[in-house]
A and B are shown apart, each in its own frame.
Chain A
Amino acid sequence: MPLSFLIYLKGDSLQALAFHRSLAYCVSVLLLATLAFTARAESRATLEINDEIEIDIVTFGEPAKTGIIWFACRQGEDAIEFAIARRLASKGYQIYFPDMLSAHFQSSLPSNIARIPAAEVVAVIEHIIDNTSAERLFLLAGARAAVPVIRGLADKKLQQMDSKLKGALLITPRIYKTTPDPGSEPVYIDEAGLSIHPILVLEGERTPNRWGLPHLAATLKKSGSRVQTDLIDGVRGYFYLRDYQTPAEREMTRQLDTLIHDNLQKLGAN
């Protein structure tokens, strides 16, 4: 027991003791509540795809009506995606982060992200669909991480399920086979245009890729997806992943949870 507390007890009454007991009680309750919330707000599970591939899935937020499966370029405590996920959780979403790269002992290079096998993406989505209490699920990805999402959406099994999967939000997606040559139409990965789910594409206003939006939308619509596109003012491509951001990009990154929330509404999140 702290010395000051003993001295205080010695010299005073039961009232003081009651006060300190109450204080200790309140602090304990607060601490326990925080710990309980944190534990519920973030959990980890492992999905065994086969004997060799196990995919960790980190989940943020309480069970909710709307779930987000975020195929993120980065994972971990200092990833902006995790910070945004916590804010989305406070807005009433449950967010799932499958760590697709660690399963293959690969670093988060864009080229590695683009090589994630579609079968594993589909297995993760199916697993979450089967185990979530959410009524609807949306896929979320940015930059090259949009490649595995587009590959997953092209999967016939996912398309035939009476699924909770309601669409995908792609933020400054890069699904080119190679950077388009001047004077030539962009060429996308083969699976672009094989999806049927609604897709919303957000592109930076300050990137030449914005001029490819009509072409991208036309491609993604080919098998029946309803495709919407929109520009994000004042930012370049994959703005929230950049080390050197302009003030406008920093501000938009701060508001990324709101941006995601608002655009999921457009996809029918609520």
Chain B
Amino acid sequence: MSRQPIDFDEKPPIGIDEELGMFDKPENVKRLLRIFYTSVVLLLVVDIFYHKHAIFAWEGYFGFYAVYGFVACVILVIVAKYVLRPMVMRKEDHYDD
């Protein structure tokens, strides 16, 4: 690190309590979430009308990819949080003797 100049002494361009950014305003976040939920629903609706040409039969089932993506991520998070983390998490100085 010693040779890489880092401008820590630079004054921050704006004060921390000054104007909120675009994504700090709750109404903007709400608006974004609304757009997101709408598009998710739309993507599922498309599945009713469009039959996917696929290699495996189940790929063509209604909502297969949607359900798989959702369930996969829920399982991923649950397993990582409740199974893996208790097994492997240690203090930051675990290896420092």
Partners in one complex: no
Chain B residues with a Cβ under 8 A of chain A? none
Chain A residues with a Cβ under 8 A of chain B? none
